A and B are shown apart, each in its own frame.
Chain A
Amino acid sequence: EDKVVQSPLSLVVHEGDTVTLNCSYEVTNFRSLLWYKQEKKAPTFLFMLTSSGIEKKSGRLSSILDKKELFSILNITATQTGDSAIYLCAVAKTSYDKVIFGPGTSLSVIP
């Protein structure tokens, strides 16, 4: 059965800290790995990763994929209170374009 696992499930850090969020997967017919940020409503897209070892970067956020070990990490440097959110990892499959989400990591950044 397809599975996407995230850790930790929740995390509290102080402003300025660096955090690493983990996502591992066991999925047949892997196409890509997706990261989303969810605040109060719908998730917003952060990154799509398809190739191993290539870092995607956007401001203080970066992510990388390891297709051999079947995991990805999302790094946030110099965290701010506005980074407080649930971070969702998802895997898109080639078969029927199905997209499966992990449980999410709830990040709280305190001043």
Chain B
Amino acid sequence: DTEVTQTPKHLVMGMTNKKSLKCEQHMGHRAMYWYKQKAKKPPELMFVYSYEKLSINESVPSRFSPECPNSSLLNLHLHALQPEDSALYLCASSQEGQRRSNSPLHFGNGTRLTVT
């Protein structure tokens, strides 16, 4: 079992809906990440939080809004999504903040999002 927990596992939403994806880790990691993964493709970085501050936004559309309420939690708020946003959304954490050192990512099992 992964030490990064994502909820829900599956989500179906209409284009006018507002929903949120949640991610939690209790490893004391100081960097948290959102990735988007399409079928048979590598994960693509969306956002990075380092020490609870947004440090990287990879030109993600504003219909995706990240939030880091504390060092253990990461949310991704979704609004007015398009069918092409359907994908697996992965949360990850790493031990050190993004500006300090390299360490491997620990991933959750993702939320499978379908936009209808």
Task: Check if A and B associate.
Answer: no
